[in-house]
Amino acid sequence: MSDKNQGLNDRLERKKRVQRIKTGMLWLLITWMLALMLISVTLIAKVHSLQEQIDIITENTIRSQQVDQQENQAPNDDQDQAEVQIYDTAAENDGGEDGQILPADAVHANQTKISVKSAETMQEDSGAEKKEEDVRKVYLTFDDGPSRNTEKILDILDQYQVKATFFLTGREDNAALKLYQEIAKRGHTIGMHSYSHKYDAIYKSEKAFKSDLKKIQERILEATGQKCSLYRFPGGSSNQVSNTDMRKLIRILNDKKITYFDWNVECGDATSHSYTVEELVDNVMKDVVKYHTSVVLLHDAFNKSKTVKALPVIIEQLQAMDAQLLPIDENTKVVQHVSAESVED
């Protein structure tokens, strides 16, 4: 009898042991799966972040190459600005007090005699709207977003009740979708800054440029319901890295009635020189005083936290000098390094 009981107990014990082992294995499996999922997510995030870094480094490299070229071509130039140099239209027009900024490359390399008059200098020629010009207009523009800094930038702009312009690139993830919508919802102007932001790809041919343009226009339409007709060329309209004649690409935009904007003031957050927050502010302030209409180049990118820190100070200083901070709209005087009107149909 007791033997029978013993046997029963043994069987029960064994059953329990097997059960325990099974449970243990199940937990082990679950833990493994969770760990694997965690590792995958981390790796995906890492890859994404690395891709962003590669893009930024590529842009920085191209920019510093441009600067190097400028320095080589104009070794005795007094102007020691890293990115752009003042091209004094006053010297040619005798009268205009505003110089026009464009990269020295554009001046030196454009043997093709591209007209580089901005709408602003043309306006001055005609002498119209003198009163309007007494008001200093500043257009803050943010390139390369959306990014993990977009939300912070939007909050700062809200805090100071300032509307700005975002030149956006293409992203498909949900976080980006929300940011596209948030930028539109909060009343800022949306412009295109190419879908891929890869110079090699966009500037490979007219066809490649057109297809990238279509993609970013569709992405913004899909996300915000806006048909965007505002563009900023990656590297600007006078960039020297495009494999395609920029005038051909300008013609494409002209045909589609898309207006492109370059800039005449930059904070320097995309140059190879790593400016401090104070220097970023100073870079903007020292150039803004030169123009009635300033289009300021800033970046909305994951690694531009100094720009985010500089932004409130820039806004406060601009507001202190009674500048109007505005989003780009159809009435904004265009600032273009290579004028759209200089490109014939």
Residues that bind Zn ion (CB under 5 A): 143-144, 234
Which helix (H) or strand (E) covers residue 191, if one does?
Answer: strand 189-192
Which single residue brings its beta carbon nearest to Zn ion?
143
Residue of 343, 102, 130, 332 whose CA lies nearest to 240: 102
In the complex, the smallest distance separating the C-beta of residue 334 from Zn ion, rounded to whole angstroms, is 19
Nearer to Zn ion, 105 or 143 (CB): 143
CB of 194 to Zn ion, least distance (A): 8
Between 64 and 93, whose beta carbon lies closer to Zn ion? 64
Q: Which is nearer to Zn ion, 98 or 144 (CB)?
A: 144
Phi-psi region of 97 (alpha: psi -120 to 50; beta: other; left: phi over 0): alpha
- The DSSP output letter for 194 is -
Which tokens go with 200?
Answer: 């090699």
**Measured from the CB atom, is 83 or 143 closer to Zn ion?**
143
**Which string of b and e fits 110-129 if b means at least 16 CB within 10 Å?**
beeebebbbbbbebbeeeee
Sign of the alpha-carbon torsion through 272, 273, 274, 276: negative
Q: Supply the minimum distance, in Å, between the C-beta of residue 297 and Zn ion.
A: 9
Write phi, then psi, for 34 (nearest 5 degrees).
-60, -45
CB of 271 to Zn ion, least distance (A): 13
The CA-atom distances, in angstroms, between 243 and each of 115, 231, 235, 339 are 21, 19, 13, 19
Query: Least CB distance from residue 287 to Zn ion, whole Å?
Result: 19
Max distance between CA atoms of the chain, in angstroms, equals 121
Indicate the residue among 62 and 107 with the shorter CB distance to Zn ion.
62
Among residues 89 and 194, whose Cβ is nearest to Zn ion? 194
Nearest CB to Zn ion, comparing residues 120 and 144: 144
Whose structure tokens read 């966009």? 202
CB of 232 to Zn ion, least distance (A): 8
Q: How far is the CB of 193 from Zn ion (least distance, A)?
A: 6
